[in-house]
Amino acid sequence: MITLHDVYEQGNDAVKEAVRAFGARHPLTTDTSATEPDWKAAEKHFTHLIEVIMGTAAPAQPDTSAMIRLAENAAVQLLLALHTQPHYRCPICVKRRRYQL
């Protein structure tokens, strides 16, 4: 499965910006003035996002590698769609917070 780091390395400028924005949604501390993202958490949530997408997709082919690539592409497309929204939150963070309440 592709990593967030690989997406950044292989992506164009828009993809790199989207990855940085996703990382920014995972601050290293709860201090709002902190600028360094928690890349470990962002990476984990990106992988989980791909898994959630794969879980909801009906496989059109028995080949799971094709399904994984489709889910990876969908996750990247989601990052691209969301990163321009000023106050979007990581969908995995939102989901986990909902279960903690």
Name the more confident of 99 and 47.
47
Q: What is the mean pLDDT of residues 52-65?
A: 70
Please compute Rg for the chain using Cα positions.
14
What was the pLDDT predicted at 42?
A: 96
Give the ranges where 1-101 is alpha helix by DSSP (H): 4-10, 13-24, 39-56, 64-82, 91-100
Residues 6+ apart with CB under 8 A from 62: none
- State if pTM tops 0.85: no
Specify whether the CB–CB gap between 71 and 49 falls below 8 A: no
Give the start-to-end residue ranges of the domains of the chain.
4-30+45-100
